[in-house]
Amino acid sequence: MKAKPIILLLFLTINTVFSQEIIKTDSIVTIKKEYLKFDYKALIIPSALMAYGIIGIESDGLKGLNANIQEEVTEDIDDKFTIDDFSQYAPALAVYSLNLFGIEGKNNFKDRSIILGTSYFLMGTWVSVMKKTTHIQRPDKSGFNSFPSGHTATAFASAEFLWQEYKDVSLWYGISGYLVATGTGFFRIYNNKHWLTDVAMGAGIGIISTKIAYWVFPLIDKHIFKTKENKTTAMVAPFYNGKQLGAGILLNIN
């Protein structure tokens, strides 16, 4: 299909704000989609959490710590709370809620949904396989699928999703997501459903699953959803008619 130029006139009273990255070349600007690039440093924290969880499977010291925490839980805490069944999804829901109220994140609805779906798929597969292969009993003896914590994995995958989408808008959005995820992990221990090592492993899996989802998104978007590279160009020409200050924008959409 031939590229068709579309002329848009924007009337501005103060200035023009662009929501996408713009690269200037004289009077021509090219609008590009920004992707998250791989950074090995981003793997340090989730890898450390996962290492703690794996070591805890065989370590007598960490098993003892698990047992001490579980003993404190069963002795001093009587009431159980099911808030963790809902809080695990809260950070991800916050992303869509913020967009609904007009606070835009890094990606549009389609792109962020693909990323979140990829993250949940990776995380869910990883958790399911490990639960079946490790066969570790829960603290309350309700089953042998304790390791790792699926609720915690979901919560931290959601928290990393909120962080990536809104850290450039405000760090507090991302921090709040991680606080909710940490609370979810705490309540899994509080409700006597998981050991500390289960929660640590789940947190690591959740974080790294979302990071991977962002890194592979360009490939998924291009080869599975057949999205072509954005080659939209724009020419900006300011104007003033005596009353209004504005700019004319020529968009060339392929």
Per-residue pLDDT of the chain (254 residues; tens, 9 = 90+): 444 443 333 333 333 333 344 334 344 443 346 677 778 888 999 999 999 999 999 999 999 999 999 888 877 666 777 899 999 999 999 999 999 999 999 999 999 999 999 999 999 999 999 999 999 999 999 999 999 999 999 999 999 999 999 999 999 999 999 999 999 999 999 999 999 999 999 999 999 999 999 999 999 888 787 655 554 444 444 544 455 555 454 444 44
Asked if residues 236 and 27 have their Cβ atoms less than 8 Å apart, the reply is yes
Cβ proximity of 119 and 154 under 8 Å: no
Q: Are 209 and 126 in contact (CB under 8 A)?
A: yes
Model pTM score: 0.76
Main-chain phi, psi angles of 9, to 5 degrees: -110, 120
CA distances in angstroms from 97 to 83, 93, 94, 107, 109, listed in the order given: 19, 6, 5, 14, 11
> Residue 5, SS3?
strand
- Give me 206's structure tokens: 């959740």
